[in-house]
Structure formats: structure tokens, C-alpha cells
Structure 1
Amino acid sequence: MIRLFRSKIYLAIALMVAVLTVGVFGFRFISNYNWLDAFYMTIITVSTVGFAEVRPLDAHAKIFTALLIVSSVIIFSFAISVITEYILSRNSLQLLKKKKVKNQIQNLSNHVIVCGYGRNGMQAAERLKAYKQPFIVVEREKEIIEKYEDSVLFMEGDANDDNVLIEAGVERASYLIAALPDDAENLFVVLSARQLNKSLFIISRASKVTSQKKLLLGGANKVIMPDKIGGDHMASLVVIPDLITFMDKLSMEGEHTTNLEEVAIEDFSDQVECNSLRDLDLRRKTGCTIIGYIEPNGNYIINPEADLPLQPNSKVIVLGRPEQIRKLNEMFHIRA
């Protein structure tokens, strides 16, 4: 619809330019005016202001002027109607778009709220999208929203405003990622979100080491320092390059790369009797390998033994190629 209106506006502008051009050339060659007088006569004629002519018009010039007035009135009326219709329709489209976004937000539950769509917020959104995790981005910059709104669900507003977080469904959300560029703003977001949802898992970005403790005290569950991680990663590529390159490949998305997946024990126990990791026998059934076990209290066990007893509400970390992960999900009806 916007394209249709744009084409109409371009047509209206082209017609107005054509009328002005015809008027200038007409007065120049029919009435023998110089270029300045011809331009002046064209402007006062098409605008119908009623100023006096530069000099009296002959019969041919009067006929030309009459035709110019009629055509300019029609064309300028068309242009005004197109512009008015475009403005009204744009406002209507904005209202419809806001209503659609509001309905989408109301349908969200157990979703992720990403505060800020800068470099880190964008990376987080891309990864969430890759894993088909429902999320909404709270962003105050209108230009950013207009640029990416076709592929990302946005909520326009300041994440430091409690009302904006409530509209984003913070009370129904499972996670919140505070990815604003300023540590103080992230702290305010963490404090507000924690008050609105006590069980919310909050992950915050931090630029300074001194901000990390404050964010944790403010209610953040995890604090990530992208600059520190980047520096550590680059140094590790010097010290243990092959290991780091291998670890990077584990986290990549693609048809021919390996993947890591975490699976709740309940996804297995509903279908097979599993008292230990050996009972699952995932290596033979799917080709996947269990490389980690997460106990209900959050304790991590790396490379667990096959006879490790499985507890309710625990998870296993599985390593496998994409086709092996898909086979695992299909065999045990695990939601990907």
C-alpha cells in the first residue's frame, strides 16, 4: 500500500513539474516574456493569487493562461488529495501496526524480553530466533525499529519505564536480557524487572567490572561482560588456538556443524525407563553423546559416568551433529 501511494506521489510531483515547465515555456515563447517574467507569470497563474500581469496579454496568451489555470487547478487538487490520503493512510497503518503488535505481545508467555537492540541485543535476538525462542525487543529509537520491524517484534519505549516492561509482558516472561549500552540504565532495568517479576531470570550486560557486583545485588541472575569475554577469547586463540576454534564450531549454526543441546530428564522418563545414563543409550540410538549432567540444584557434572543415577528435574547436555540432534528430538518427541 505504501508503494502504491509513493507511485501516486511521484506522479503528482511529475505532473506539477510538467505544468510549471509548460507555463514557463508558454509565456516565454507565446507572450515573448523573458525567463524571469515567464517564471513569475507561471507562479501567479497556477497559484491563482490574482496579481497583475507583467504586461497585457494578447488573445493567444489569454487562451494559454486559461488552459494553464484549469490544468493547474486539476493537477494541484490531485496532488493535495494524494498527499492527504497518504498521511491519513500512514496514520491508519501505524495504528493497525501498533494494534497488531499489542495482540502479539498479549499472546506471548514464557518469552524473552530483550532490552535494547544495539550490537549485543541484536546478537541475542539472532540467536533466540535461530532456536525459535519467542521474544520481544524493547527499543526507544524509532529509526532502529523501522529498519528491522519486518523481522523482529518490537515494543517502542524506554525499558527503564515500568509501564513499558508491563506492556512487554514482563509478568508472564521467563527471561529478560538487559543489553543497553549504559551500565546505569541496565541497573535500573534489572531493579524494575525484579520488582515486577520475582521469578524472572535476568541476564544483564556490563561494561565495567565495578558494575558487575551492583547488577547482581540489584537482582540480575547473570552478568555478562562482552569486552572481557572478547579479550579472553582473543588471548585464548593465541595460547590454545585449536581448542578455541573447536569450541567456536560447537556453537555455530549450520547444516554441517556440530551442536550442543540440553534436554530435561522428564523428556526421556515419560517414554523410557531410565534410572541412569546407561539406560538412555543415546549413543547407539541417535549417535549423540552425553557430555554433561545438570543436577536439580544447578550443579554441573562434566563427562558424567554411565552409571550416574538420574534425578527428577535434572538435565543432560548432549553433543551431536544437526542430523543426530534432529533424530534425538524426533525419537523422544522433544520440542526443538
Structure 2
Amino acid sequence: MNLVERLFIALFLLILVLFVGTMGYFLIEGWSLFDALYMTIITLSTVGYGEVHPLSEAGRLFTIFLIFAGVGIAFYVFTMVTETIISGQLQDFLGKRRLEAKLETLHDHYIICGYGRIGRHICHIIAKEVPFVVVEKNPQVVKEIEKEGFLYLEGDATHEEVLKKAGIDRAKGLVSVLRSDADNVYITLTARGLNEKLFIIARADEEHVETKLKRAGADKVVSPYLIGARRMALIILRPAVTDFLELVTPEQSVELQLEEVRISDRSDLVGKPLLESGIRQFSGAIILAIKKVTGEMIFNPPPDYIFEAGDVVVALGDRKGLARLEEVASGRKKLKDLL
């Protein structure tokens, strides 16, 4: 039993003594409830005030009992409160309650399972744009997450109850990046069973595990070693291409970015051909590809391509230009205001 649990028990006993004392004076002496409560409090606090009303012999015997029982419990409560505050357990308990309250308000968030080298980088990259919670079972790693200020849940992500506490029923997606392929498969299988609409990204160290992860329900499977090998090979074969790709990655501080923008049904772009949309004029962005609602990907769309609601536009440009494109695509701004 930890200190916080003992503190609650001590407080319960103190309330019980107050109740017994109040009812005792009320029944034995026939006093009002207020007078009975007042007499109980001054007796337990040993402040030395006189009797509220003259006591009968039965009342004095009851007072003796109350002093021996109540003062001991009051001292025990004081000791527990002091020890709990000094040890920091009360602060930890209140901190966990605040975390639980934040978890209950999460919606359309991502659950990051594992805070190893990969999980750590994912969190830092998406921190400013996507709400997420990290699930980690290592207490030492949890302290590191807490220092970073990320929302976390201490527990084993392979357990169904832990994923439920992380709000998997309200989550938009889950990223499983544990070191064990078996754990990633199990988490994927469990998560898919809890939320059929969840977008799941899973890590695979071994190539043959990719098939198992997809069967378990993963939407995307990423092999860090394979990606690393391809990147190194590309540096050897296509160094200029590699330099360009590094410019448009999210962690770089330069203005150039690759971004995806969804066309809303309220957007002025709907029904307009690419050539007449004025995207290049008001945003300076280059349209590299368009992903249809059906999943079809159109690379380097032709000038006569007509935008439809639900299209996801992959564009290259600076931050300000892409922000203007997003405003028009979402319907928050009209083309006439920019052209």
C-alpha cells in the first residue's frame, strides 16, 4: 500500500471519528448537530476550550473515549499528510490525474507506441502540428518524455486496456515503433480490432514481417534499415536529388516545403481546370501530384485537369505560398481576394 492510499484511509478514519463524535453528543446529551460537531472538533484538536454545555457522566465517558481514539487518528493523518508531501507522491498522484484528464479530451490524435530512437524523432517532428500521446512502459524513458513536455501514458502498448486509456476509439492513427517485430504485429492486430477506421503505421525490421503486419491491419509498413540503405545508395547515385530532398524535409529550417492540401467542397478551386486556377500566381506553388478520392495518384497533372472536392494536392513551395493555397483549398479564402 503506497502513501497516497494510506492517506486516503487516514482521512476516511478522521471523517468517521468526526461523525461518531457528533452523533455521540447528539444522542447522549441531546445537543444540536452544530453544537455536537463543535464539541467534537475542539475535543480532537485539544485546544483547551471549555465544554459547550455541562456534560453528564455518560457524556464525559464518551469524551474520554473520543480523546483516546480521535487524537491518535488525527495525529496519524497529520503524519501521513506530511510524509506524502515530503516524498512527492502526492504531486505524482495529482500529475497523473491531470494527465488522465488531458487524455480524456484527446480527439483525432495519434498514438505513438514506443519512445526509442525512431519514436523520439517522430514526436519532435510532428509536435507542432499533430496532437499525440506516447505510450511507453520503461519508467526511465517516461521521465525523459515528461521532461520534453509530451503527453504520455505509462504502460505496455501490447495490452488492450492501455490502448483504450490512450483513447484509441477516438484516435485518428497509431504508430507502432517498438524494437520487436512481434510486438509491432501484436499491437497492430489489437489496435485494428479496437478501431477499424484507425490509420496504422508500423515498423518492420525484417523484410518478411511486412506481409504479417499488413495482414494484421497495418495501412503502411516502414523498414528503417531499408529506407536508410536506399537513402545512402541515392546519395552515391543521385547526390543532387538527395540534396533537393533534404531541402524539403519538415525538420529543415529553409522555406521550401513539400505539402499536401485537401480540396474542400466549399473551395473555389472545385470545377476549375489547373491552368485557370491561378495557383501559381497567388501561391507560387508547383503542383507535383494529385491524389483522387479513389486513391488514384496523378503525377504532373495536365493543365486541363479539373479539381474535384476531396482531391489531395501535393505541392512544392514556400511556407507563405503553401499557407495561401491551403486557405483557398479549404474555402476560407476566395480566389477573387488573391488574384
TM-score, normalised by the number of residues in structure 1: 0.70
Matches within 5 A, 1:93-172: 93-130=91-128, 132-150=129-147, 151-172=149-170
Q: Deviations over 1:236-258 (max 9, x none)?
A: 10011111111121114455331
Q: Tell me the distance in 2 between the aligned counterparts of 1:251 and 1:144.
A: 27
CA distance change for structure 1 residues 229 and 255 in 2, over 3 Å: closer, same or farther?
Answer: closer
Q: Tell me the distance in 1 between the aligned counterparts of 2:83 and 2:331.
A: 53
Q: Tell me the distance in 1 between the aligned counterparts of 2:298 and 2:269.
A: 23
* Residues 174 and 200, structure 2, Cα contact 8 Å, conserved in 1: yes
Residue type of the partner of 2:154?
Answer: E
Residue type of the partner of 1:175?
Answer: G
**Identity, % of aligned pairs?**
32
* Residues 264 and 329, structure 2, Cα contact 8 Å, conserved in 1: no
* Residues 160 and 190, structure 2, Cα contact 8 Å, conserved in 1: yes
Residue type of the partner of 1:183?
Answer: D
- SS of structure 2 residue aligned to 1:270: coil
Q: Tell me the distance in 2 between the aligned counterparts of 1:175 and 1:334.
A: 26
Q: Tell me the distance in 2 between the aligned counterparts of 1:155 and 1:187.
A: 20
Residue type of the partner of 2:309?
Answer: P
1:193 aligns with 2:188: no
Structure 1: tracts of 5 or more residues without a match: 1-79
Residue type of the partner of 2:227?
Answer: I
Partner of 1:84: 83
Partner of 1:281: 278
* Residues 273 and 279, structure 1, Cα contact 8 Å, conserved in 2: no
Residue type of the partner of 2:206?
Answer: K
CA distance change for structure 1 residues 255 and 123 in 2, over 3 Å: closer, same or farther?
Answer: closer
Match for 2:234 among 233, 236, 239?
A: 236
How big is the shift at 1:128? 1.3
Match for 1:265 among 257, 263, 266?
A: 263
- SS of structure 1 residue aligned to 2:99: helix
Residue type of the partner of 2:200?
Answer: I
* Residues 112 and 173, structure 1, Cα contact 8 Å, conserved in 2: yes
Q: Tell me the distance in 1 between the aligned counterparts of 2:228 and 2:308.
A: 36
- SS of structure 2 residue aligned to 1:328: helix
Residue type of the partner of 1:134?
Answer: P
* Residues 256 and 322, structure 1, Cα contact 8 Å, conserved in 2: no
Q: Tell me the distance in 1 between the aligned counterparts of 2:150 and 2:302.
A: 42
CA distance change for structure 1 residues 289 and 251 in 2, over 3 Å: closer, same or farther?
Answer: same
1:326 aligns with 2:323: yes
* Residues 274 and 280, structure 1, Cα contact 8 Å, conserved in 2: no
- SS of structure 2 residue aligned to 1:229: helix
How big is the shift at 1:279? 3.5
Q: Tell me the distance in 1 between the aligned counterparts of 2:329 and 2:301.
A: 21
- SS of structure 2 residue aligned to 1:149: helix
Partner of 2:288: 291
Q: Tell me the distance in 2 between the aligned counterparts of 1:104 and 1:181.
A: 28
* Residues 246 and 252, structure 2, Cα contact 8 Å, conserved in 1: no
Residue type of the partner of 1:297?
Answer: T
How big is the shift at 1:310? 2.1
Q: Tell me the distance in 2 between the aligned counterparts of 1:309 and 1:163.
A: 47
Match for 2:178 among 177, 180, 185?
A: 180
Residue type of the partner of 1:292?
Answer: A
RMSD over aligned Cα, in angstroms?
2.2
Q: Deviations over 1:252-307 (max 9, x none)?
A: 4455331111111117x434554322342111011112111001111111111121
- SS of structure 2 residue aligned to 1:202: strand
TM-score, normalised by the number of residues in structure 2: 0.70
- SS of structure 1 residue aligned to 2:174: strand
In the comparison of the two structures, how many residue pairs are matched? 253
Q: Tell me the distance in 2 between the aligned counterparts of 1:313 and 1:265.
A: 5
